[in-house]
Amino acid sequence: MTQISFPHQAAAAAKAIKPGFIPHVGLVLGSGLGGLADLLTDATIIPYDELPGFPISTIQGHAGRLLLGYLEGVPIACLQGRVHYYEGAQNDKVKNIVRTLRVLGCEIFFATNASGSLRTDVEPGNLMLIHDHINMQGTNPLLGPNDDEFGERFVGMENAYDPALRKILHEAAKEIGFSLPEGVYLSVLGPMFETPAEIRAFRTLGADAVGMSTVSEVIVARHCGLRVAVVSAITNLASGMSDEQITHDGTLHFAGQATERMTLLINGFLRKLNV
C-alpha cells in the first residue's frame, strides 16, 4: 500500500476544514510581517500543528499558522511564519510546506522576509525586490531521492524569480509612489548574525541583502513548477556598515515599520493579477 505523502495529507486536512477553496497565491510572511495576515477576508485559520508534516516555528515573530482567505479578491494560502534550518528543521519539513501549497492549487509562490542591506542606498524600513539569490546555507532542500510527482531531478534556476511578476510589482510600486530597488539575496544558515568580514566577502560576491531563509523555499517552489516572487523588508544595514548593534528585536521593529509599505505593495500586486 502506497503511503500518502505529507503534502497531500496536509492539503487534505486543510481542504476538510475549508472545502472547495482553491488558492491562487501562496504567501509567506517573514519575521515581523505576520500582521499582514489580519487583512485577509473570510479567513480560516489552521495552526501548523494540525497539518501533518508541518514544522513548528520556535522564533518570535513567526506565529505558525496557515490562513485560507481572500486579499483583493484573490484566493490566498497565507503562511504566517516559517521554519529555519537553524531551528533544527530538516529538508523534508521545508519541502512539505511549499509542496502543500502546490497540492492546494497555488500557482504563485510569494515570499516576504526580513533582511539586512549590503547597500547604503537601501536603508532600514525600505523594501527590496529580489531578482536572484546566492545559497550559502551549506545545504539544499532537494538533497536525496527525487520525488517525480513534484518535479524533475535537475532544476534550472536562471529565471527563478519570475520576470513577469517582478514587472507587475514594479508597476504596483510606481502607482503607490515609492521606489522598489532590485537586488540579489544571499542566504546564510544562522542563527548568528554575520561578521563584518563576511559582509565584505558577500558584497564582493554580488549580494545586496542577507538573511537566514527563503532560498530553500524558492528552490522547492521552482522544483514543483510554482512562479516565484520575493520581497525583502530591510531591517538593518549589515554588520560593519553602521555603528548600530544588530538584534532580533531590532529586526522585528524595522520589519514592523516596513509593514505598511509591504501591505500596499502586495495589495497593488494582487489587484493587477489576471486571476
* Set 5, 11, 14, 31: catalytic member: 31
Tell me if residue 136 is catalytic.
no
Of the listed 5, 57, 213, 232, which one is catalytic?
213
Catalytic residue among 113, 236, 258, 262: 236
User: Is 86 assigned a catalytic role?
Assistant: yes
Q: Which of 63, 72, 86, 135 is catalytic?
A: 86
Of 11, 89, 111, 114, catalytic: 114
60's CB contacts (< 8 A; 6+ apart) are 248, 252
31 part of the active site: yes
- Check 8, 12, 50, 87 and give the catalytic one: 87
Q: Whole-angstrom Cα distance, residue 234 to residue 213? A: 14
CA–CA dist 131, 207 (Å, integer): 11
Q: Looking at 173, 207, 212, 229, which residue is catalytic?
A: 212
How far is 227 from 121, CA to CA, in rounded Å? 29
Q: 63, 248, 253, 267: which is the annotated catalytic residue?
A: 248
Is 131 labeled as catalytic in the residue annotation? Answer: no
Euclidean distance between CA atoms 101 and 211, whole angstroms: 23
Place of cell 508541518: 54
From 10, 14, 57, 84, active-site residue = 84
Selecting among 14, 37, 62, 172, the annotated active-site residue is: 62
How far is residue 83's CA from residue 217's CA, in Å, rounded to a whole number? 10
226 contacts 98 by C-beta, under 8 angstroms: yes
Positions marked catalytic: 31, 62, 84, 86-87, 114, 212-213, 236, 248
